[in-house]
Amino acid sequence: MSIVRIISFTEAGYQLSCKMQDCLQERAEVVLYSGKNQVAERHAEVCAVSDGLKNWCSEVFDKSEVLIFVGACGIAVRTIAPFVNSKCTDPAVLVADEQGKHIISLLSGHLGGGNQWTLFLAQKLQADPVITTASDVNEHLAVDVWAKQQGWQIADLTLAKHAAAAIVAGEKLPFYAEDMQIQNLPKELNLFSSKESFQEMISKRAGEPIAGIVVSIYDHWQKNVLRLVPKRVILGIGCRKEKDPAEVETQVRQVLENYHVAVESIAKLVSIDLKAEEAGILRLAERWGIPFETFSTEELQLVPGTFAESEFVKKTTGVGNVCERAAVAALPEEAQRQPCWICHKQAENGVTVAMVALPL
């Protein structure tokens, strides 16, 4: 559940905070704060901010999905300024006047969901929503919001900004989705049905800030093409016991580079349960923010298919191929008999890697 923190500074602000809490209680965990000790002392459920707003913000900024300031915009701006980092990671920040007449989306309107939270609260409180992002006020496609809704990762935020600027200017951008059908394509995109025709078009636009948009798990596209990356890749991995974590990551990166697979496309790492505590794999999963799942020897033995077997690995683990079998085991059962291989076992320097694509 999302964590929403609301800070107010007066009794009237506290009363509005309570109304917001009632509106949000079914979709978020709400914590109330007050910048005035007198208000906090009167209301037991309110946390007092007694060590200064900057110190408070340093503690909660990265731990919140939404921060709401009930008061002046200037207070909010000065408080959050030292902690604003990236639209990919910053929380949504909203501001409301203490009479609840206006709800303002101040920060992370798109990727942080600030605009949606603003619209939701404004509707509940019968307030005026204040949204200033150009794509929204002009009723154009917001590429970052659309990508988030589809579960795609934006590979380059600078190109996303160029795409947004082109769309707001009325340009229809070339678009291609590799190996998938897109339902309800936004009107701002010009769909190309073949990879060849799309590549021909983007090559003509090589000198433009943005040539086009592609949905693909691969990273070998023209540099000024915005890549939206679906998480479709299952990466099976095995390694020698206590293999150096840096060497594990180096080898995995090398395989990804060899096959032009984007890191952002990896949905999960998978292996045998004997590797559940393997430091090199755990560190890789943590650094890349990717789930790590393991299967028992018995589960891997039941995986259908023909695999490149190693007698040494079989004696050690009970199965002759860990990375390929684990990758297939992670697929839905109906896809296991005909997996879509990106690469079969790649073995180097005590690390083995295999990749399959999740079905669409």
Residues 97, 122 contacting (CB under 8 angstroms): no
In this prediction, residue 309 has a pLDDT band, given cuts at 50, 70 and 90, of confident
Cα 324 versus chain centre, distance:
27
Q: Give the gyration radius of the chain's Cα atoms.
A: 25
Q: What is the pLDDT of residue 144?
A: 87
Per-residue pLDDT at 80 exceeds 80: yes
Q: What is the pLDDT of residue 218?
A: 97
Q: How do the domains of the chain map onto residue ranges?
A: 2-132, 143-230, 233-357
Q: What average pLDDT does the segment 196-219 reach? A: 96
Q: How far is residue 267's CA from residue 251's CA, in Å, rounded to a whole number?
A: 18
Q: What average pLDDT does the segment 342-355 reach? A: 96
The rounded mean pLDDT for the chain is 93
Q: What is the pLDDT of residue 329?
A: 97
Q: Does domain 143-230 have CATH number 3.50.50?
A: no
Q: How far is residue 190's CA from residue 187's CA, in Å, rounded to a whole number?
A: 8
At the second CATH level, the architecture of 233-357 is 2-Layer Sandwich (3.30)
Q: What average pLDDT does the segment 230-235 reach? A: 97
Q: What is the pLDDT of residue 308?
A: 86
Q: What is the pLDDT of residue 226?
A: 97
CATH topology (fold) of 2-132:
Rossmann fold (3.40.50)
Residues 283, 296 contacting (CB under 8 angstroms): no
Strand partners, 303: none
Worst-scoring range by mean pLDDT, 38-42, 43-47, 262-266, 339-343?
Answer: 38-42
Q: What is the pLDDT of residue 133?
A: 84
Strand partners, 273: none
E strand or H helix that includes residue 235: strand 233-239
User: Per the structure block, which two tokens stand in for 352?
Assistant: 């083995």
Residues 323, 205 contacting (CB under 8 angstroms): no
Q: What is the pLDDT of residue 312?
A: 86
Predicted model pTM: 0.77
- 246-259 per-position pLDDT tens digit: 999 999 999 999 99
Strand partners, 357: 233, 340
- 117-153 per-position pLDDT tens digit: 999 999 999 999 999 987 777 778 889 889 988 999 9
Q: How far is residue 328's CA from residue 234's CA, in Å, rounded to a whole number?
A: 8
User: Per the structure block, which two tokens stand in for 15?
Assistant: 């009363």
Per-residue pLDDT at 287 exceeds 90: yes
- pLDDT above 90: percentage of residues in the chain: 79
Q: What is the pLDDT of residue 142?
A: 87
Between the two ends of the chain, the Cα-to-Cα distance in Å is: 28
Report which of residues 140 and 177 the model is more confident about.
177
Q: How far is residue 88's CA from residue 110's CA, in Å, rounded to a whole number?
A: 10
Three-state SS for 118?
helix
Determine the angle formed by the axes of helices 157-168 and 143-150, rounding to 10 degrees.
Answer: 120
User: Per the structure block, which two tokens stand in for 334?
Assistant: 């109906």
Q: How far is residue 347's CA from residue 349's CA, in Å, rounded to a whole number?
A: 7
Q: Quickly tell me which residue has 């897109």 as its tokens.
A: 182
